[in-house]
Amino acid sequence: MEFKTAGVLFCLVFVAVRVSSSGLEVNLTRTWKQDIGWEINCTWELPPRDYLQSVRLYLNRQQFMIFRPEIDGLERSLMIRRLEDGVVTNCGISSVDRRRGSCVITSELYQPQNNSFTLQCEVSGERPTFIMEKKTIVVDNFVPPSDAVLTRVRSLNDVSDRVTLNCSASGIPSPNLTWTIGSQKMPHEFKGTAWNVTSKLWDVWSIVSYTPRSDLTAVCTPEATYKGEPVNGHSAQYNSAAIEKGALTSIITVLAVLYLCRLR
Ligand SMILES: *[C@@H]1O[C@H](CO)[C@@H](O)[C@H](O)[C@H]1NC(C)=O
Ligand SMILES: *[C@@H]1O[C@H](CO)[C@@H](O)[C@H](O)[C@H]1NC(C)=O
Ligand SMILES: *[C@@H]1O[C@H](CO)[C@@H](O)[C@H](O)[C@H]1NC(C)=O
Ligand SMILES: *[C@@H]1O[C@H](CO)[C@@H](O)[C@H](O)[C@H]1NC(C)=O
Ligand SMILES: *[C@@H]1O[C@H](CO)[C@@H](O)[C@H](O)[C@H]1NC(C)=O
Ligand SMILES: *[C@@H]1O[C@H](CO)[C@@H](O)[C@H](O)[C@H]1NC(C)=O
């Protein structure tokens, strides 16, 4: 019974969307571009025998760009410099099928992104109907944590029977790095965070040292939360036994090579 009701509701919603869309399709997507920042892509397709009248773009609900093929021709570009980023916009319609086109908005970050922003894309067809479709996307200041990278630190003040590990990761905002050694949670000894001008992400690192045992695995996990849900990067692990086994394999290989050389 409940299932049937849900089915009817679904059909109603589906029909409502079909009717309101009036054949004009607008997609608005965002992607994080490594070493650049955000790229927002608004694409549209008008119904047959309609043409593009205008595309208006809004940043935080303020119009910053209008593209009208009648005035601008097949494409229009715009560059805006803000304190935290440079916003480059390229709009164009396909020369093959003029009902299709896209606006690509790239925000290159000069400074850490502190706030989310809202982007809207409003596409209008030609007279007499002027069909219109407006899509909104919120670009959160969130990039999921990268996978952890573990390195063993060799320093002079390393006490002989201890290992010191450095775990690093990146993201927006800077991820928390958590450590477990065996089944125990471990607090870090030092940590550091810096904004990376190249990647536009926060780099974070964290140090622990402990006395290794072959049955103890050290695990470092980059953690963050997005909309109340945990979003973690892949953990990295260190186990002294794995290294010893590796070393043993190398020794055996070297011995085997030496033995083979002697045979010749
Ligand atoms: C924007 O989306 C369109 C349609 O999916 C695609 O053809 C185009 O390559 C995209 N542009 C960029 C810069 O991603
Ligand atoms: C919008 O996205 C849908 C699903 O990805 C795709 O099938 C459609 O071709 C896209 N339309 C435009 C105009 O980009
Ligand atoms: C973002 O925050 C950092 C540190 O809190 C600050 O130095 C920077 O100026 C802020 N950027 C903007 C655009 O407000
Ligand atoms: C840990 O690694 C990070 C990233 O490679 C590096 O920037 C940092 O200086 C290292 N910290 C120490 C104490 O070695
Ligand atoms: C900044 O990020 C780039 C990758 O985009 C990386 O190659 C570089 O080592 C990072 N810089 C620092 C200081 O960690
Ligand atoms: C890191 O942990 C602190 C304290 O639990 C929390 O306030 C903060 O939001 C966490 N950072 C991320 C990126 O989740």
Name the closest-CA residue to atom 5, ligand 4. Answer: 168
Looking at the chain, the whole-number percentage of residues with pLDDT higher than 70 is: 81
Tell me the ligand closest to 94's alpha carbon: 1
d(CA 68, CA 217): 61
* 8, pLDDT greater than 50: no
Q: What is the pTM assigned to this prediction? A: 0.79
For CATH 2.60.40.10, the residue range(s) in the chain are 149-246
Q: What is the CATH number of domain 10-139?
A: 2.60.40
Confidence grade of residue 158 (pLDDT, cut at 50, 70, 90): low
- What's the pLDDT score for residue 177? 97
- What's the pLDDT score for residue 253? 56
Output the CA 226–ligand 6 centroid distance in Å: 11
- What's the pLDDT score for residue 181? 94
Nearest alpha-carbon partner for 241 in 187, 191, 182, 188: 182
Cα–Cα distances (Å) from 138 to 30, 40, 142, 240, in that order, read 9, 10, 11, 46
- The reply to whether ligand 2 has any atom less than 6 angstroms from the CB of 41 is no
Confidence grade of residue 243 (pLDDT, cut at 50, 70, 90): low
Which is higher by pLDDT, 190 or 103? 103
Ligand 6 probe mutation, 191, 225, 226, most atoms within 8 A of CB: 225
Q: Which two tokens stand for residue 40?
A: 């927002």
Name the burial class of residue 103, with classes exposed (0-12), middle (13-18) and buried (19+) by CB atoms within 10 angstroms of its CB: buried
Confidence grade of residue 13 (pLDDT, cut at 50, 70, 90): very low
What are the phi and psi torsion angles at 152 (to 5°)?
A: -90, 130
Class of domain 149-246: mainly beta
- What's the pLDDT score for residue 16? 35
Ligand 3 probe mutation, 81, 110, 114, 195, most atoms within 8 A of CB: 114
